[in-house]
Amino acid sequence: MADKEKYYIAIEGQLLEVNKEIYEVYYKGKRKEQYFEQDLKIEHTKINKETGERIVVPSREDSFERLLEAEKQFAEDGNSVEDEVIHTIMVEKLQQTLKMLSEEENTIIQALFYEDLSETELAKRLGIARTTLQSRKYKILEKLKKYFHY
């Protein structure tokens, strides 16, 4: 009887002896994995048989650094850092300015702008005419403008 061939696969740096069937399945899977990696990561070209035109098939996976080197543009997906900083400063300044209002003025601003109550609803709640409330609102907003600019 002839000596049996021995088959080994390397797993985590160790050689394991396996039968021929396991060896073939393992290395077939490894080759397939390498093929897919190359297909995903490497840009390649194809030639259109009818027109002879060269078609570039980009890689499906790319690094940010390579895209920058290729001078690819990226769409901005939101506000810039500067815009976010300015927004934060403005919100803080508004909060400080709101603290300078009287309790009644603060109640009106909170209800109209933070609770989204209509002028009619708030006027009913406060027991005053809507036109009176509207007049007070404009005075408060003018006051806020003055505080806000200085």
Residue 149 vs residues 97, 130, 145, 146: alpha-carbon distances, Å: 10, 29, 6, 5
Q: What is the CATH number of domain 81-149?
A: 1.10.10.10
Domains of the chain, by residue range, sit at: 7-69, 81-149
What's the confidence (pLDDT) of residue 105? 93
- Cα separation, 122 vs 136, whole angstroms: 12
Whose tokens are 């985590």? That residue is: 12
pLDDT band at 75 (very low <50, low <70, confident <90, very high): low
What pLDDT, on the 0 to 100 scale, is given for residue 66?
66
Picking from 6-15, 68-77, 85-94, 102-111, which range would have the lowest pLDDT averaged per residue?
68-77
Q: Is residue 114 over pLDDT 50?
A: yes
Residue 98: closest CA among 136, 144, 42, 56: 144
The pLDDT tens digits of the residues spanning 48-66 come to: 888 888 887 777 666 677 6
DSSP letter, residue 127:
T
| pLDDT of res. 85 | 86
Report the pLDDT value the prediction gives residue 1, as an integer from 0 to 100: 41
Measured CA to CA, the distance from residue 80 to residue 84 in angstroms comes to 6
Residue 74 predicted with pLDDT over 80? no
